[in-house]
Amino acid sequence: MQAGVKEVRDQYNSVVPDTRDEISTLRGIGPYTAGAILSIAYQKPEHAVDGNVMRVLSRVLLIKEDIAKPKTRKIFEEAVSELIDSEDPSAFNQGLMELGATICTPKSPKCLLCPVRENCAAFYSGEQNELPIKSKNKKVKSFFDFVRNNKDLMPFTNRQQILDNFNTIHERMKPQLEKLFSVKPKTQFEVKRTEVFREASSSAEYNQGSLDGTRTGVFYVPIPNPTTYNTYSDESLFLHEAIPGHHYQISLQQESTELPQFRKTLWYSGYGEGWALYTESLGKELGLYTDPYQYFGMLSQEMHRAIRLVVDTGMHSKGWTREQAIEYSLDNEADSEASITAEIERYMANPGQALSYKIGQLKIRELREKAKDELGEAFDIRQFHNQILETGCVPLALLENKINRWITANKKLKL
């Protein structure tokens, strides 16, 4: 879009072209944006078809073509071109889009509140919840279902076996931990079942030890039913919540003899959750992810965090509705609608928190790559991890400055 605006300035003397053909040649301008500009700026009866519009029209007109297929979009564009109000095309396009965003929502349209209910063919045939038809990601989704329901991945009969499995993961990675870390916390660590009174609504989590070291750090695992406990993401979960994720980072911060007292308990989500997510990507270096299901577990968590970047930004910066964010998540991951709705409402209530994971992870990976490139053979991954961990939680900009200074100092040593 930015490139397109520059082109308008340079090639069209700052006057936006008023034909679809010309607008469509601008970089970053697709058919939807072209139609929106033409109808808003020039009052031209041009279609602006996005996902909301396709959802509404597929129901109103009972269009059963698969909207995931690019050629189906043409059907909707032609339908809008026929129906559009030539007196006020901008209001027509905007109204359709808003109807899809607020009333004609993805899985449970609010038909009783709908102003076009009298004209909606799907409402009369009772098919409003089945439309639109969208086959996208079916293969991926069916694989998610396969993994979720695979009894081979639910091998345990009692809770202790599940806790023991996490300790086995820890034992397997121990020899490799020393290759990546030269420090380890003194704070003791254990894996426990989440208390019964709260486990039905809990996620796995880390609970830090006490500042004086008398209480251990605990990785809590909710296990309401051991026979349906699916192991496919156990390795990435252990790396993130336990070692070398939250247990290493938080314990080393609390044990530091360099940090002032108030910084020992300071928390910045971009750093803390960024570190934990970064450690999920260390699985191969730590001798894990040899089982493809475990690797898939890590990748599906990556996807979940990447989706957050889109939906959190969409809602808090781009004017997305709750329903648009739910639809986007449903299209791109295989969690249940109930779980996705709960997640989206979490992001609504706490802007930016959920996207801090991926932003922090990307920054740490970027700094690692930069240090590796600039220091070459002098790059030592153990020193790099020390540099990250010894600061305790800080804003990412400060972390970046610190690592840049460390790289510069080490380059001078090389000379």
Contact residues: ligand SF4, CB under 6 A: 56, 59-60, 103-104, 109-111, 114, 116-117, 120, 122-123, 128
Q: In this structure, what are the phi and psi dihedrals at residue 217, rounded to the nearest 5 degrees?
A: -80, 135
Q: How far is the CB of 47 from ligand SF4 (least distance, A)?
A: 18
The smaller minimum CB distance to ligand SF4, of residues 104 and 334, is found at: 104
Judge contact between 118 and 126, C-beta under 8 A: no
Percent helix, strand, coil in the chain (nearest 5)?
60, 5, 35
296, 208, 278, 213: which is closest to 250 by C-alpha? 208
The smaller minimum CB distance to ligand SF4, of residues 119 and 401, is found at: 119
Taking the C-alpha atoms of residue 298 and residue 280, their distance in angstroms, rounded to an integer, is 7
The smaller minimum CB distance to ligand SF4, of residues 134 and 305, is found at: 134
Chain position carrying tokens 């998610």:
144
Judge contact between 220 and 237, C-beta under 8 A: no
Q: How far is the CB of 93 from ligand SF4 (least distance, A)?
A: 16
The smaller minimum CB distance to ligand SF4, of residues 60 and 221, is found at: 60
The smaller minimum CB distance to ligand SF4, of residues 121 and 140, is found at: 121
Q: How far is the CB of 212 from ligand SF4 (least distance, A)?
A: 59
Q: Is 58 helix (H, G, I), strand (E, B) or coil?
A: helix
The smaller minimum CB distance to ligand SF4, of residues 104 and 393, is found at: 104
The smaller minimum CB distance to ligand SF4, of residues 60 and 367, is found at: 60
189 sits in which H/E element? strand 189-193
Sheet bearing 205-207, strands edge to edge: 189-193, 217-221, 205-207
Q: Which two tokens stand for residue 244?
A: 């070398």
The distance from CA 72 to its chain's CA centroid, rounded to whole angstroms, is: 28
* Upstream peptide bond of 395 is cis (omega within 30 degrees of 0): no
Q: How far is the CB of 367 from ligand SF4 (least distance, A)?
A: 48
Q: How far is the CB of 112 from ligand SF4 (least distance, A)?
A: 8
The distance from CA 199 to its chain's CA centroid, rounded to whole angstroms, is: 24
* Upstream peptide bond of 244 is cis (omega within 30 degrees of 0): yes
The smaller minimum CB distance to ligand SF4, of residues 97 and 218, is found at: 97
Q: Is 336 helix (H, G, I), strand (E, B) or coil?
A: coil
Q: How far is the CB of 128 from ligand SF4 (least distance, A)?
A: 4
Q: How far is the CB of 115 from ligand SF4 (least distance, A)?
A: 8
Q: What's the Cα-to-Cα distance from 189 to each of 49, 58, 167, 231, 268, rounded to whole Å?
A: 55, 55, 10, 21, 23
Q: How far is the CB of 109 from ligand SF4 (least distance, A)?
A: 4
